[in-house]
Amino acid sequence: MKNPRRVEHQQTGRGYVPVYATGTVEQPWASYSKTDHDVWDTLYSRQRALLPAYACQEFLDGVERFGLGDGGIPRFDDLNRVLGAATGWEVVAVEGLLPDEVFFDHLAHRRFPVSWWIRRPDQLDYLSEPDLFHDLFGHVPLLLNPVFADYMQAYGKGGMKAHAIGPEALMNLTRLYWYTVEFGLIRTDAGLRIYGAGIVSSKSESIYSIDSTAPNRIGFDLARVMNTRYRIDSHQQTYFVIDDFAQLFDATAADFTPVYAQLARGQAVAAAEVLPTDTVFHRGSREGFVSGGDN
């Protein structure tokens, strides 16, 4: 086995630029240091204490089924026995960010890429790229849910089509991933709850996404989501709310080509904007928002 690298963004005169890896590696579990395991335990304990009041039950159930709090960084092989039996997915170890087409191919074949390395102790509260904790704790528990697992595979297949169509279609699909898989909220009998991995793996955004009066919380609509810019430098200015995971899966059933064509004829919506046609759960106060810089 080759020694896996830790592939991260690089600082240049133009700011941080992403550096991509392509292949899969074996999880080098024996080489994790005590510090690595301590970082996992610290992050896990912090989020597990917080999330019962914020995360959806499907996510919490997945965390318990995997035993992610048994102590130290989990072994991917152990997780795959549980995951494969439940939904036919598997975790594969990667060195860092993957090119779009490689990532989509993994999802389309029910493989979820997880960065093998974990952040340093001084990065507990922020990291510019996804590490093992974000990828594993944030994403993998919901892959035990059959409907969400099918949505993720459908997204991967859609991504391969979008990549072939062109960059504008790819951006539309990226926004869908961002506002659902990474930063999505869901309606429950207990109120709005988190399911997005970018939120559940972050203490500050877990609290902000549900409790803050600043951001908008708007009902999910496929074309609206695909046409909405997002923030990578702050908490989100808008969160989209699904009714249930079946709504997500149903949204991926149709061919997106007509949607891409429709959106290409108009202008993208700013991250903070609320439209007259929106179903508004909460219109944000916009406190602390900055203008410009949307993706």
**Element of type H or E holding 281:** strand 280-282
Write out pLDDT tens, residues 205-230.
999 999 999 999 999 999 999 999 99
CA distance 208 to 183: 12
DSSP code for 14 = T
Alpha helical stretches, state H, 88-145: 100-108, 132
CA quadruple 198, 6, 96, 34: dihedral, nearest 10: -40
Average pLDDT, the chain: 95
Report the percentage of the chain scoring pLDDT > 90.
87
Compute the average pLDDT of residues 190-202.
Answer: 97
Report the percentage of the chain scoring pLDDT > 70.
97
Q: What pLDDT does 3 receive?
A: 80
CB atoms inside a 10 Å sphere around CB 154 = 18
Compute the average pLDDT of residues 285-289.
Answer: 95
Poorest-pLDDT segment among 86-90, 111-115, 127-131, 190-194: 127-131
Write out pLDDT tens, residues 254-274.
899 999 999 999 999 999 999
CA–CA distances in Å: residue 195 to residues 27, 68, 98: 26, 17, 23
Q: How confident is the model at residue 14 (pLDDT cuts 50, 70, 90)?
A: low
Q: Which residues of 197-222 are buried (b: 16+ CB within 10 A; e: fewer)?
A: bbbbbbbebbebbbebebbbbbebbb
Q: What pLDDT does 285 receive?
A: 97
Write out pLDDT tens, residues 111-156.
999 999 999 999 998 888 899 999 999 999 999 999 999 999 999 9
